[in-house]
Structure 1
Amino acid sequence: MGRRSPYPAEFRNDAVALYRAAGGKRTYAAVAADVGVTGETLRSWVRQADEQAGRDHSGEQGAETRDEELARLRAENGRLRKAEKGMGTRAGDPAPGSGLFREGDEVKARRWDFISTHRVEFGVQRICRVLQVSRSGYYRWVAGAAARAERQAADDVLVTEIREVHTAHKGTYGVRRVHAELRGFGHTVNRKRVERLMRRHGIAGRHLRRRRRTTVPDRLAPPAPDLVQRDFSAEQMNEKWCGDITYVQVGGSWLYLACVIGICSRRVLGYSMASHMRAELVIDAMEMAVAARGGRVDGVIFHADRGSQYTSAAFAQVCDGFGIRRSMGRVGSSYDNALAESFWQGLKRETMHHMPFTTMRQARLEIFQWLTYYNTRRRHSALNYLSPAEFEQQHQRERRITLAA
């Protein structure tokens, strides 16, 4: 009998789905690096999944079920019905003849360019007198043409690099993260310059609409004390954790997601996705987080809201079994769990920017892909623009140096 895997089945299945979604365009090692395992481990998971499903690697990757197809078609039909009159039905582009472009919107030529264009015909002095500008200003502009061309060429190169960073992160990065990524590549560039170029060329990060409240407190369950008091900082990796539940729309139904986040490194230690909000959802996420830390979590403070899942007796029993100290904020105060709230905003802003998910399979895959991207690559402002994985590596190196000294 083989040794039991330390990784939960939900995590293994999502990792296999992430590899298969690449359609052979990414290697085992590349996908495994995002997930946080070795390439051989991922290869064995894919092999086991194929054996259980009774197919080999060259087989068909599983067709869309009838229910999923129906949900997708219904969602698409709803979007078509809601399309505004005179607007395109795909990305909101103006339809032909919609009257968006009107007379008077033409861009006016710059005055110095106008003088240069007509100087031979009318003379610089006469044009400057009519336009009420100085000749000396025009000649200074002519003298600086070479320097301007050089700056423009440098800006064009920088804009290309900005677009590459923006595209590599699926259009989610704003000015600060783009600037941090460029500096991470060794560029010494001013943040205001990056901001100016992104604004000029219409490059922007994503923003999130206001979301609805989802916490349903159990008034009869005894709450745990607030051991965090809005202090979302920690010196050690297993000092404080926090967690919460959110939901995403999938066609005409909902997919619920619970996460456990390490406050020190902001890393997602555990997660669970399901079509229900029962206590098992948060228990599965907690057990995955404990496994990620090797089972040695005695004394960790876990902070959450007063939702019925976190005040349930089953969840309390699991926490007590691992030696985890529960902490809870007040009812209806998002600031008491601000770190988790901010995390949900980032996830929804960067995964649901186009339209709601149409199938559960698509939703699980994209959310899992974003979680692995968040842990290994996404730069975090609270970590001096390092990713959680990079921060943990740096923290461990500094700790070893301190112990050696």
Structure 2
Amino acid sequence: IYAVLLSEGTYLCSVASMYRLLRREKQVAERRRQARHPARKVPELVAYQPGEVFSWDITKLAGPRKGTYFDAYVMIDIYSRYVVGCQVHLRESGALAEAFMKQVFAQDQVPQVVHADRGTSMTSKPVASLLSDLDVLRSHSRPKVSNDNPYSESWFKTLKYMPAFPERFGSLEHARDFMDRFVHAYNTEHRHSGLGFHTPADVHFGMTWHVDDQRLTALEKAWAEHPERFGKNRLPKKMLLPEVAWINEPIKQEDGEKMLV
């Protein structure tokens, strides 16, 4: 319009002014119909003890050649941080995910909730059918929100940032052997800061009381020998387990009852 009028010898205003007036009258807008995606519900999950909420995901392990990868299926109990299952396969698929879950549930227990992101295996029909048959609630992260699956993401970071993690795995057997050894060490030797420096296995199998007794005995012995070494002349506070573990902490109930999963 600006160019046509100017060619005819008429100047009304600048192009910028025309757009300003059009915006004021709400005449500048996308003409095509736009897809409107509904807002995704924030997953809010709470576990008060082991066996209530499992989180799982699949991570890539670099193979022997550039562009080759193995897929590690890993499932974690979010309360105890115990790795209840880990398998490494050549590919990612819903059928393999279903078989993986069946083995995990047979070895450990069937949880109330299984949480995952929205990958193709996580939302596949075999997995959905299995969880439905077992009356297990399915929970999924919002699209492109990695913080909705913090326990799995954190575990993968712990795995891949350790000095002994290989740059590449020479074979499927190499990857499986490494993951088996790492999972065993993580479950039984790793002192987790979020668990009062207990191991995931001690928390998962209810053995923390035994470790706490040993720690208290050691502190009392040190106190008896050298009380001056303790600040404020008292024993350090006991390293406590958290009362709950959660994904996106729900709003607490006013009546003091447990928060619902």
Q: TM-score, normalised by structure 2?
A: 0.59
Match of 1:238 among 51, 57, 75: 51
Distance in 1 of aligned mates of 2:191 and 2:139: 28
Cα displacement string for residues 204-255 of structure 1 (whole angstroms, at most 9, x for unaligned residues): xxxxxxxxxxxxxxxxxxxxx86743x5x52121211111010100112211
Distance in 2 of aligned mates of 1:283 and 1:271: 13
Q: State whether structure 2 residue 153 is matched by structure 1 residue 341.
A: yes
- Hey, what does 2:176 align to over in structure 1? 364
Distance in 2 of aligned mates of 1:275 and 1:352: 22
Q: CA deviation at 1:331?
A: 0.9
Q: State whether structure 2 residue 142 is matched by structure 1 residue 330.
A: yes
Shift of the 244–376 alpha-carbon distance from structure 1 to 2, 3 Å rule, reads same
Q: State whether structure 2 residue 78 is matched by structure 1 residue 263.
A: yes
Alignment of 1:20-31 (within 5 A): none
CA contact (8 A) 2:188 2:200 kept: yes
Distance in 2 of aligned mates of 1:338 and 1:285: 21
Q: State whether structure 2 residue 108 is matched by structure 1 residue 293.
A: yes
Distance in 2 of aligned mates of 1:319 and 1:274: 21
Shift of the 368–226 alpha-carbon distance from structure 1 to 2, 3 Å rule, reads farther
Shift of the 306–373 alpha-carbon distance from structure 1 to 2, 3 Å rule, reads same
Letter in structure 1 aligned against 2:130: V
- Hey, what does 1:150 align to over in structure 2? none
Q: Secondary structure at the match of 1:350?
A: coil
Q: Secondary structure at the match of 1:257?
A: strand
| 4+ runs deviating over 2 angstroms | 225-229, 350-355, 392-398
Unaligned runs of 5+ in 1: 1-224, 399-405
CA contact (8 A) 1:259 1:282 kept: no
Alignment of 1:2-401 (within 5 A): 228-229=43-44, 231=45, 233-252=46-65, 253-294=68-109, 297=110, 300-350=112-162, 353-394=165-206
Distance in 2 of aligned mates of 1:382 and 1:241: 17
Q: CA deviation at 1:272?
A: 2.0
Shift of the 351–251 alpha-carbon distance from structure 1 to 2, 3 Å rule, reads farther
Q: CA deviation at 1:396?
A: 8.1
Letter in structure 2 aligned against 1:377: E
Shift of the 328–354 alpha-carbon distance from structure 1 to 2, 3 Å rule, reads closer
Unaligned runs of 5+ in 2: 1-39, 211-261
Q: CA deviation at 1:397?
A: 6.1
Q: CA deviation at 1:327?
A: 0.3
Distance in 1 of aligned mates of 2:146 and 2:104: 23
CA contact (8 A) 2:188 2:201 kept: yes
Shift of the 359–283 alpha-carbon distance from structure 1 to 2, 3 Å rule, reads same
Shift of the 353–314 alpha-carbon distance from structure 1 to 2, 3 Å rule, reads closer
For the aligned residues, what is the CA RMSD? 2.3
CA contact (8 A) 2:62 2:167 kept: no
Shift of the 227–330 alpha-carbon distance from structure 1 to 2, 3 Å rule, reads closer
Q: State the structure with bigger RCO (CA 8 A, min sep 6), 1 or 2.
A: 2
CA contact (8 A) 1:257 1:272 kept: yes
Cα displacement string for residues 245-278 of structure 1 (whole angstroms, at most 9, x for unaligned residues): 1010011221101111111111111222111111
Shift of the 315–303 alpha-carbon distance from structure 1 to 2, 3 Å rule, reads same
Number of corresponding residues: 169
Distance in 2 of aligned mates of 1:226 and 1:291: 31
Distance in 1 of aligned mates of 2:144 and 2:183: 26
Shift of the 393–314 alpha-carbon distance from structure 1 to 2, 3 Å rule, reads closer
Q: CA deviation at 1:348?
A: 1.4
Shift of the 382–281 alpha-carbon distance from structure 1 to 2, 3 Å rule, reads farther
Say which structure is richer in helix.
1
Q: CA deviation at 1:382?
A: 1.2
Letter in structure 1 aligned against 2:53: K
Distance in 2 of aligned mates of 1:340 and 1:238: 16
Letter in structure 2 aligned against 1:243: W
Letter in structure 2 aligned against 1:249: A
Letter in structure 1 aligned against 2:49: Q
Cα displacement string for residues 290-346 of structure 1 (whole angstroms, at most 9, x for unaligned residues): 11224xx26x11110011111111110111122211000111111011111001111
Q: CA deviation at 1:377?
A: 1.1
